[in-house]
Chains A and B, each alone.
Chain A
């Protein structure tokens, strides 16, 4: 319980919004309360109506008011409920819009422009799921609880006007449903929840392993073991779910039974208070019937609380995410408004993640405007680190990186007008072809898009699509091959039209023929730009003006491809291998 209280106290994701959007929130609570009020009032007036009618008053006008009220409440209840559902969803979705924006900015802050940390689809699904949980937290826990409590208070107060002692009794008995049972539920579910999460997680990963690795299970002849493991998983989780269900059933039973007691208390109270007068006796049935329609308001509190441990997890995760991201944020450096193009210069640059294992040491490198530089080296040699340093994603412990004499740290905000990047897996968004291309330049006209598509040899392909530029990328995306996807990304970069282009192994996973074709397109269409191209083998290396090898934290070889072929046996050997000379 204590940890939940701490969580609520330190939360700045979920609860502050209650205050910020309090106008609509009040409306939601009012409508919800009115729904139950009308339900109760319908039975209350009906009870009075038939009791009074049974006394056969000589004039129908004597029961006219309850007749009208009965109808009014009968129409009021569903109407209030309908509006309440709309307004509460509207409220929640409004907050979700804010949530999404906020969450996006947090993730954005922690994302590097090359190779984001292990942020797989899994992580994003967790985040999206957390938002969904919080939607449900508002709709299924918070609103019903507050509405239930409001009804609880109103009922007690109304009785209190007539008889404070009865009111106290009602307060205690109904408190079982509105306070005790929810607390017990949280305690019981909270204790089991950790175990249940472990089991669910295990079941899920085991099942994913079984399905994704099915080929290996079958080949290894170990399917029997797989089935035994699964059986254990299913059994364990089934048992726990069984326990939870049993608890829920009995809790609901107790919660409902308590209301039977409340009916008796109200009937006794009504008889004491109104049982003597000829007219007032009609109120007895009214009080006797009022509780039944209210039962949902009280019972649903515990149901909502049952899910609290899960909601709490999501709230906790979002709060933590924000903290991590804040520690990640770097000091701001004064930014240059309009960066100028010029030579790129690495001056005595040293970089390490851990001081005892430097990645790059004393790198000196100049890339002239319009030069096409290829960077070669083994996996893990530091090629990508070099790019990260150039993009300002990482900062060197020693030395300085400048473009046209300006340190790259002063460029990060407006970098996109100077440098564009084509990496291994450029993302194509689930929107139209045109929208994907326009991400390069939001103001680009259709003509510019077509021109870029023509340069990357995709014009005919896009012309054949059912809606041309307006064809959604996802539907069409399944038909696009790896080479075509790279060409789309290249077209985007052409539209972005920056003087410097970074190519980070843009052809990994393509077959050699496609690879060469894509590389030729790249170098033809970007011929007047400065190109820095990281690659891990030598296909198309003669497209570059200059080649360097990164090796043992430094530049071990440098020269034009022709020079290197003559002077370096290593280069010649690798080139021969890549060309498949026998």
Chain B
């Protein structure tokens, strides 16, 4: 139940010791409360007038209030530890993301990476505060009460002692039964519960098919199926709670009847009997509370394990191997890849095989090939976002991979779908050059052909864009990405991945004129399907199935009777000649 890793957190031991002591004190207070309420009730039963019972009554009330205050005290005792630990975990997690980089996010999935840092951390916080309290309650309070009851009357205590494992056993058995049924139903359950969102997302398509209105019945029917599935699972799932409830309540009833018998026989006076009856529910209370939060326990433990696993990942510590001599990439600098291969985790086939290439100075390099031929993978490898095997040299310095700090500081990347931050247009555009002034920004907005769109914006450069704010089309996002590159004039290596895929041909032609000057004085690697760009490239790399099948200048490639010409013919719709 308790994850051993908890003790390793700073301040865990003192916090848990404080919690243990407070729980122990609370257990004693509960016994006092039960004892004095029994004295009060027994005295009154004996016919004592109210004026004779203020002392037990007062002690009962004080104990009762003290018991509640101690609950608060336990929370206060644990809160600083829980807050501090989860706070640190949260920051360490985000820090880890930045250290390990996008490959970690790709592995986790963006949704999981975000939810782990928000909901996951909340669950750990619950685990470290709520669940620990309940766990300690369960491990301390029943046994203190039981010890006192044994002192009063060992037979009752024995009964309560033996019923405890029976309850746990039934809970576990029924819990497993419910779990296996739930597992069997899980797929159906999931499918039904996601059906609603799925349908909403596909509404445009449904409308096109003329099913918009008709589908409302389907929504209702599926929802009713979901209800039935839920209820049949629930019937079993809450059986374990029922078992717990049933045995505890019935135990109290049984105890009451047994006590009645003993009282009838005269083997027991009323006071201990009353005390046992009053304390019996408190004996069961901690396990009931704990069982109610069982899922919080599981979630908390799982999230903690997930987070700790990520934090245990090794940080790449070899990012400083490459030491750049000049402040930026120069005309004479070289990059050499020799026999570099890369395989995605879980993939059978390598995505890149035996890649060898030499890039130099301010070359413009075109990268062509069909979808899935490895162009994007190669760009990601050059950017240092993927780490493969093979020899890599920058300026004759051998480096283990391209996630080199100095290399990346000279790099600009325009991905197929540039990410737009939920921030103002100004901050989005000036992301790589936070200090540029608005005039420069506006000039670039004009150059990338966003001026007309800009005029429609409600707050100009202060307009917030990105997810959940003003929506942008794929073409607009690509042009914003391009503007980012244009605003940062220091970086000299540019990687572009089909930057015009979402644009119409005429817009693309206009944009081409503004883009070509950026390529001067820079090393450019440009992946594209649009062949007209190749006329402006100094060197062309042709890829197929993760391998480089041809490379050379355009005229060289055109003269060869190779894959490039075959590809070109296919793209032009001239398969018959190929």
Contact = CB atoms under 8 A, between A and B. Distances in A.
A582 B278 CA distance: 95
B398 interface: no
21 contacts: A43-B277, A78-B249, A96-B223, A104-B199, A104-B215, A105-B216, A108-B216, A210-B97, A210-B98, A218-B102, A231-B91, A238-B83, A253-B72, A256-B68, A268-B50, A275-B50, A379-B503, A496-B209, A537-B505, A580-B530, A582-B534
A42 B207 contact: no
Interface string B494-525: 00000001111111010000000000000000
Contacts of A124: 197, 200-201
A205 B72 contact: no
A455 interface: no
Nearest to A292: B281
A214 B191 contact: no
A128 B261 contact: no
Contact of B212 (A108, A210, A272, A427): A108
Contact of B274 (A70, A100, A268, A285): A285
A516 B61 contact: no
A288 B413 CA distance: 75
A264 interface: yes
A377 B256 contact: no
Contact of B47 (A66, A79, A204, A281): A281
A512 B277 contact: no
Contact of A577 (B86, B385, B532): B532
A122 B411 contact: no
B44 A249 contact: no
Given A50-B277, A379-B475, A427-B201, A263 B37 contact: yes
Nearest to A54: B270
Interface in A260-313: 260-261, 263-264, 267-268, 270-272, 275, 281-282, 284-285, 288-289, 292-293
A214 B102 CA distance: 6
Contacts of B315: none
Contacts of B567: 513
A3 to B, nearest CB: 25
A289 B263 CA distance: 18
Contacts of A314: none
A75 B246 contact: yes
B336 interface: no
B45 A51 contact: yes
B432 interface: yes
A566 interface: no
Given A70-B256, A492-B209, 14 more contacts: A47-B41, A53-B260, A86-B238, A100-B196, A122-B467, A124-B197, A210-B94, A211-B97, A223-B98, A230-B91, A238-B87, A511-B529, A580-B572, A582-B554
A171 interface: no
Nearest to B210: A416
For the residues of A in contact with B, the DSSP-based class is helix
Closest 6 CB pairs of A and B: A416-B210, A580-B531, A74-B253, A536-B504, A427-B202, A46-B256
A267 B44 contact: yes
Interface in A57-89: 57, 60, 63, 66-67, 70-71, 73-75, 77-79, 81-82, 85-86, 89
Contacts of A577: 505, 509, 532
B21 interface: no
Interface string A485-502: 000000010001000000
A23 interface: no
Given A54-B263, A54-B270, A496-B209, A252 B68 contact: yes
B471 interface: yes
Interface stretch (B145-153, B226-234, B303-311, B342-350): B226-234
Interface string A24-46: 00000000000000010011011
A39 B249 contact: yes
Interface string A221-235: 111001100110011
B173 interface: no
B203 A513 contact: no
Contacts of A511: 370-371, 529
Nearest to B209: A439
Nearest to B418: A216
B531 A579 contact: yes
Contact-size category for A = 35 or more
Nearest to A208: B114
B10 interface: no
Contacts of B250: 71, 74-75, 78
Interface stretch (A111-119, A187-195, A330-338, A399-407): A111-119
Nearest to B263: A53
Nearest to B510: A378
A195 B68 CA distance: 30
B117 to A, nearest CB: 6
Given A107-B203, A120-B467, A124-B197, A214 B245 contact: no
Interface in B254-304: 254, 256-257, 259-261, 263-264, 266, 269-270, 273-274, 277-278, 281
Contacts of A208: 110, 114, 422, 467
A50 B260 CA distance: 5
A509 B44 contact: no
A207 B68 contact: no
Nearest to B223: A97
A440 interface: yes
A378 B105 CA distance: 36
A271 B42 CA distance: 12
A398 interface: no
A105 B432 CA distance: 45
Nearest to B204: A116
A206 B471 CA distance: 17
B40 interface: yes
A106 to B, nearest CB: 10
B419 A213 contact: yes
Contacts of A119: 200, 203
Given A46-B256, A215-B415, A579-B531, A97 B568 contact: no
A409 interface: no
Interface stretch (A173-181, A343-351, A417-425): A417-425
B471 A118 contact: yes
